Structure 1
Amino acid sequence: MKTVLSTILAAGLLSTSGVAQTVKRSDYPIQAVPFTKVTLTDNFWQPRLKTNTTVTIPASFQRCEATNRVKNFEMAAAKSGKFATVFPFDDTDIYKTLEGAAYSLSLYPDKELAAYLDVLIDKVGKAQEPDGYLYTARTIDPAHPHPWAGPERWVNEREMSHELYNSGHLYEAAVAHYQATGKKSLLNIALKNADLVCSVFGSGKRSVAPGHEIVEMGLVKLYRVTGKPEYLSTAKFFLDARGQYKGYDPKSPDPFKNGSYWQDHKPVVAQAEAVGHAVRAEYLYSAMADVAALTGDKQLLTAVDSIWNNMASKKIYVTGGTGAVPGGERFGRNYELPNATAYNETCASVANIYWNQRMFQLHGHAKYADLIEKVLYNGLLSGVGLDGKSFFYSNAMQIKNSASFAQTEPARAGWFECSCCPTNLARLFPSLPGYVYGQNGRDIYVNLFVSGSANLAVQNKPVRLTQANNYPWNGDLKFTVDQASTSDFNLLVRIPGWARDEAIPSDLYRFAQPSSAKVVIKVNGKPVAYQLKNGYAVLTRKWKKNDVVDMSLPMETRTVVAHPNVQDNVGKVALQRGPVIYCAEWKDNDGKATNIIVPTGTAFTAAFKPDVLNGITELTATVPVVKVDGASNTISTVKQTLTAIPYYAWANRGKGEMTVWFPQQVTDVDLVTRQAVEATHAK
Structure 2
Amino acid sequence: MKKLFVLTSAFFLTFQIQAQQVKRHFEPVNFSKVNITDAFWKPKMEKVATATLQACIFQTEEKTGRIRNFEKTARKQGEKHEGIYYDDSDVYKALEAIAYSLKNKPDAALEKKADDWIDKIAAAQEPDGYLSTYYSLTDLSKRWTDMGMHEAYMGGHLIEAGVAYFDATGKRKLLDVATKWANHFDSLFGPNKRHWVTGHQELELALIKLYRITQDKKYVTLAHWLLEERGHGHGKGYIWDDWKDPAYAQDFVPVKDQKEITGHAVRAMYLYTGAADVAALTGDQAYMNAMKTVWQDVVFRNMYITGGIGASGRNEGFGLDYDLPNEQAYCETCASVGMVFWNQRMNLLTGESQYVDVLERSLYNGALDGLSLSGDHFFYGNPLASQGTHERREWFGTACCPSNIARLVASLGDYIYGNSDEAIWVNLFVESETNLPLTAGAVNLRQKTAYPWEGAVELSVSPEKQQKFALHLRIPGWAENSAAPGNLYDFTAEPTQKVTVLVNGNSVAFDRKSGYAVIERTWKKGDVVTFTLPMEVRTVKSRPELTYNQQRVAIQRGPLVYCVEGVDNGGQAWNFIMAPNPKFTINSFMVDQEPVMNIKSDAIRFRASNDGTEVVSEKATITAIPYYSWCNRGKTPMQVWLPTKVTDLKINNK
TM-score (norm 1): 0.90
Written as runs of structure 1 = structure 2, the 5 A alignment for 1:443-454 is: 443-454=423-434
Identify the residue that residue 12 of structure 1 maps to in structure 2.
none
In the alignment, does 2:230 pair up with 1:221? no
The alpha carbon displacement at 1:246 in A equals 6.7
The alpha carbon displacement at 1:669 in A equals 5.5
In the alignment, does 2:145 pair up with 1:155? yes
Identify the residue that residue 13 of structure 1 maps to in structure 2.
none
**Which of 178, 181, 184 is the aligned partner of 1:190?**
178
* CA distance 1:42–1:284, change in 2 (3 Å): same
Q: Distance in 1 between matches of 2:112 and 2:346?
A: 37
Identify the residue that residue 112 of structure 2 maps to in structure 1.
115
Q: Distance in 1 between matches of 2:622 and 2:124?
A: 56
The alpha carbon displacement at 1:596 in A equals 2.3
Identify the residue that residue 308 of structure 2 maps to in structure 1.
321
Say whether the 8 Å CA contact 2:49–2:98 is kept in structure 1. Answer: yes
Say whether the 8 Å CA contact 1:44–1:471 is kept in structure 2. Answer: yes
2:175 is paired with a residue whose SS is helix
Say whether the 8 Å CA contact 2:257–2:290 is kept in structure 1. Answer: yes
Identify the residue that residue 389 of structure 1 maps to in structure 2.
376
2:312 is paired with a residue whose SS is coil
Q: Distance in 2 between matches of 1:619 and 1:319?
A: 17
Off by >6 Å, runs of 4+ in structure 1: none
Identify the residue that residue 337 of structure 1 maps to in structure 2.
324
The alpha carbon displacement at 1:622 in A equals 2.2
Deviations 1:9-53 (A, max 9, x none): xxxxxxxxxxxxxx9995523210111211000000000000100
* CA distance 1:669–1:517, change in 2 (3 Å): closer
**Which of 391, 394, 399 is the aligned partner of 1:411?**
391
Deviations 1:414-438 (A, max 9, x none): 1001100001112111110011001
* CA distance 1:350–1:50, change in 2 (3 Å): same
Aligned residues: CA RMSD: 1.9
Q: Is 583-592 or 54-63 further displaced after alignment?
A: 54-63
Q: Distance in 2 between matches of 1:613 and 1:634?
A: 40
What is the identity, as a one-letter code, of the residue corresponding to 1:614? E
**Which of 606, 627, 650 is the aligned partner of 1:647?**
627
Deviations 1:230-260 (A, max 9, x none): 2111111111111111789xxxx99921211
**Which of 211, 214, 219 is the aligned partner of 1:231?**
219
Deviations 1:100-134 (A, max 9, x none): 11011111111222222111111100000000000
Q: Is 109-118 or 321-330 further displaced after alignment?
A: 109-118
In the alignment, does 2:144 pair up with 1:164? no
Identify the residue that residue 97 of structure 2 maps to in structure 1.
100
TM-score (norm 2): 0.94
The alpha carbon displacement at 1:599 in A equals 3.4
In the alignment, does 2:52 pair up with 1:65? no
Q: Distance in 2 between matches of 1:163 and 1:237?
A: 17
2:86 is paired with a residue whose SS is helix
Q: Distance in 2 between matches of 1:326 and 1:630?
A: 40
Deviations 1:467-498 (A, max 9, x none): 00100000011000123311211110111110
What is the identity, as a one-letter code, of the residue corresponding to 1:56? T
Written as runs of structure 1 = structure 2, the 5 A alignment for 1:23-102 is: 27-66=23-62, 67-102=64-99
**Which of 462, 465, 469 is the aligned partner of 1:489?**
469
The alpha carbon displacement at 1:84 in A equals 3.9
Unmatched runs of 5 consecutive residues or more in structure 1: 1-22, 144-150, 673-683
Unmatched runs of 5 consecutive residues or more in structure 2: 1-16
Q: Distance in 2 between matches of 1:338 and 1:331?
A: 12
Say whether the 8 Å CA contact 1:323–1:348 is kept in structure 2. Answer: yes
Identify the residue that residue 681 of structure 1 maps to in structure 2.
none
2:622 is paired with a residue whose SS is strand
Identify the residue that residue 278 of structure 2 maps to in structure 1.
291
Q: Is 123-132 or 610-619 further displaced after alignment?
A: 610-619
Deviations 1:576-604 (A, max 9, x none): 00000000000001111012211341110
Identify the residue that residue 611 of structure 2 maps to in structure 1.
631
The alpha carbon displacement at 1:549 in A equals 0.4
Q: Distance in 2 between matches of 1:636 and 1:345?
A: 39
Q: Is 641-650 or 50-59 further displaced after alignment?
A: 50-59
Q: Distance in 2 between matches of 1:311 and 1:387?
A: 32
Aligned length: 630
The alpha carbon displacement at 1:456 in A equals 0.8
What is the identity, as a one-letter code, of the residue corresponding to 2:274? A
Q: Distance in 2 between matches of 1:38 and 1:558?
A: 32
In the alignment, does 2:407 pair up with 1:427? yes
1:554 is paired with a residue whose SS is coil
What is the identity, as a one-letter code, of the residue corresponding to 2:261? A
Say whether the 8 Å CA contact 1:262–1:276 is kept in structure 2. Answer: yes
Deviations 1:39-78 (A, max 9, x none): 0000000000001001111220111012110000001111
Written as runs of structure 1 = structure 2, the 5 A alignment for 1:253-652 is: 256-401=243-388, 405=389, 410-609=390-589, 613-629=593-609, 631-652=611-632
Deviations 1:281-336 (A, max 9, x none): 00001011111111111111111111111111011100010000010101121111
What is the identity, as a one-letter code, of the residue corresponding to 2:142? E
2:411 is paired with a residue whose SS is helix
